[in-house]
Amino acid sequence: MPAAAATLERPRVTPPSDDKRWRIVEATMRRHGYQPHALIETLHTVQETFGYIDEDAMRFVAQALRVPLSQVYGVVTFYHFFTLKPQGEHICVVCLGTACYIKGAPQILEAIERTYGIKPGETTKDGKLSLLAARCLGACGLAPVAVFDGQVVGKLTPEDALKQIRRWEEDDGR
Half-sphere exposure of residue 59, counting CA atoms within 13 Å on the CB side? Answer: 7
- Cα first-last separation, the chain: 54
Q: Measured between alpha carbons, how far is residue 50 from residues 64, 83, 103 in Å?
A: 18, 11, 35
Please tell me whether residue 102 binds another protein under the rule CB under 8 A. yes
Which 30-49 positions form the footprint of another protein (CB under 8 A)?
35-41, 43-44
| Distance from C-alpha of 146 to C-alpha of 117, rounded to nearest angstrom | 18
Which SS3 state, helix, strand or coil, does residue 146 take?
strand
Q: Which of 124, 136, 162, 168 binds another protein (CB under 8 A)?
A: 136
Which SS3 state, helix, strand or coil, does residue 95 take?
strand
Shortest Cβ 2–another protein spacing (Å): 5
Residue among 107, 43, 127 at smallest CA distance from 81 = 43
| Distance from C-alpha of 107 to C-alpha of 87, rounded to nearest angstrom | 23
The answer to whether 112 and 162 have CB atoms below 8 angstroms apart is yes
Please tell me whether residue 111 binds another protein under the rule CB under 8 A. no
Beta carbon nearer to another protein, 128 or 154: 154
Q: Which of 51, 117, 127, 138 binds another protein (CB under 8 A)?
A: 138
Q: Which of 92, 103, 131, 164 binds another protein (CB under 8 A)?
A: 103
The span of 5-13, 14-22, 122-130, 131-139 binding another protein (CB under 8 A) equals: 131-139
Q: Which of 67, 109, 111, 156 binds another protein (CB under 8 A)?
A: 67
Rg (CA), the chain: 20
Beta carbon nearer to another protein, 29 or 112: 29
The span of 4-12, 13-21, 152-160, 164-172 binding another protein (CB under 8 A) equals: 152-160
Binding residues for another protein, per CB under 8 A?
1-2, 35-41, 43-44, 67, 71, 74-75, 78-82, 96-99, 101-103, 134-143, 145, 152-154
